Structure 1
Amino acid sequence: MRRRVVCLRHGQTRWNVEQRFQGHSDIPLDVAGVAQAARAASLLAALGPTAIVSSDLQRAYDTGSALARLTGLGVQVDKDLRERGGGAWEGLTRAEIAAGWPTEYAAWEAPGGEAVADVAERVSEAIRRWVAQLPDDGLLVVASHGAALRLGIARLLGLPEELWSALGGLANCSWSVLEEGRRGWRLLEHNAGTLPEPVISDDRPEAGNGG
């Protein structure tokens, strides 16, 4: 048996709908997001998770808590699972960012924000730490954020940074499943749980659209 990780993006927030960069801003789930979390929990509970860990931001924690209520598990909190920090862009819409920082927008590098390599490293290392505590056949659910999870997954898979954009974004309350093998991690599912729909995330414009 091999250990698996379900990377679950949080449910919808008002800022997602308004296409505002959330980053480290602690924005709660909206009504639709609460319903999305409940639906995701009803599906993921059937997998029999061993442990649940969440970002310390409430939109992710509340998403993980919906699953915890069905499984009887607690939700552990890890600040390293936070979304990519957006610096001067947090709270701003895509249009405002593009108008105010056209060069930085093209590169998707926020003034005062986090570098993608730093986010990939902290998220992937956090996942590794929690996986190390699982039994050999354990299943870890990680409730986190769109850009953070995409970058962390890319790093776990060993993709070179120039190929990270090949991995698409995650819709609200969709998830990816990774399995630990003899030669490292492999991706079993990506952006699962919904029919194809627009992704509103803090990630790069081509990956999706508020984390």
Structure 2
Amino acid sequence: MSKRIVCLRHGQTLWNVEKRFQGHSDIPLDETGLAQAARAASLLASLRPTMIVSSDLQRANDTALALGRLIGLDVTVDKDFRERGGGQWEGLTRDEIATRWPEEYAAWEAPDGEPVTDVATRVSAAMRRWAAKLDDEGLLVVASHGAALRLGICEILGLPEELWPALGGLGNCSWSVLQEGRKGWRLLEHNAGTLPEPVSSDDKPEA
């Protein structure tokens, strides 16, 4: 075995249900999200994680804490695992965004928002930084956000930006698994944990 990273998206929030762009807004898990976090924790516990790190936003941190409490591991917070900043879009629904900013919506580039390349760089760098602290057979769980994780995964796999749309989004409390090999990181699983269903996320609509 070698080092692995489980990329766990947070549980459902009210803004997910309402299809609002959350970004850096600190929105809590709703009742369904808390149940999702408990279920994910019960499944991921069997992998015997050795380290848990989360975004500083409570929806991700509370998802991580559900696992940490179950297996007796502390959760470390790293703001580099935050969601993509949404600028003027935060708190707005997709319909509102499409109406007010049709061109920006088509490109999925929020006014005053964070560029996707910046998100990919900071999240993948944080993944590498924390993975470097693992023992050779360690398993890191990163509790983060839909767009942040997908972009970070694309970057750590070395995919060129034009191929990033080929990787679909992550559902609430679903996860992807990365494994370090001799030639870098590879994707073992993607969007695991539930049967495929529509994804409500700050990620691109097609993701």
> What TM-score bracket applies, with the shorter chain setting the length?
over 0.9
1:141 aligns to what SS in structure 2?
strand
Structure 2: 5+ residue runs without aligned partners?
Answer: none
The answer to whether structure 1 residue 103 and structure 2 residue 98 are counterparts is: no
Query: Cα deviation per residue 1:73-130 (whole Å; 9 max; x = unaligned)?
Result: 0000000000000000000000000000000000000000000000000000001110
Alignment match, 1:145: 145
Letter of the structure 2 residue corresponding to residue 61 of structure 1: N
Q: What does 1:141-180 align with in structure 2 at a 5 Å threshold?
A: 141-180=141-180
Counterpart amino acid of 2:89?
Answer: W
| 1:57 corresponds to | 57
Letter in 1 for 2:95: A
SS at match of 2:142: strand
Q: Using the alignment, how far apart are the partners of 1:145 and 1:26 within structure 2?
A: 12
Q: CA deviation at 1:197?
A: 0.6
Partner of residue 199, structure 1:
199
1:6 corresponds to which residue? 6
Aligned to 1:122: 122
- Distance in 1 of aligned mates of 2:76 and 2:69: 13
Matched, 1:186 2:182: no
- What secondary structure does 1:2 align onto? coil
Q: CA deviation at 1:10?
A: 0.0
The structural deviation recorded for 1:140 is 0.1
Name the structure 2 match of 1:15: 15
* SS of match in other structure, 2:169: coil
Displacement of 1:50: 0.4
Give the CA deviation at 1:21: 0.0
1:34-45 paired onto structure 2 within 5 Å: 34-45=34-45
Residues 45-96 of structure 1 deviation map (CA, whole Å, 9 limit, x = unaligned): 0000000000000000000000001110000000000000000000000000
Q: Which runs of 5 or more residues in structure 1 are unaligned? A: none
Letter in 2 for 1:26: D
Give, in whole Å, the separation in 1 of the partners of 2:76 and 2:128: 14
Q: TM-score, normalised by structure 1?
A: 0.98
1:58 counterpart letter in structure 2: Q
- How many pairs align? 207
Render the CA deviation track for 1:12-64: whole Å, top value 9, x for unaligned. 00000000000000000000000000000000000000000000000000000
Letter in 2 for 1:138: G
Root-mean-square deviation (CA, aligned residues, Å) is: 0.3
Provide the residue aligned with 1:29 in structure 2: 29
Q: Supply the distance in 2 between the matched residues of 1:146 and 1:81 (Cα, whole angstroms).
A: 11
Write out the 4+ residue segments of structure 1 that deviate beyond 2 Å after TM superposition: none
Q: Secondary structure of the equivalent of 1:28? A: coil
Question: What amino acid is the match of 2:65?
Answer: S
Aligned position for 1:132: 132
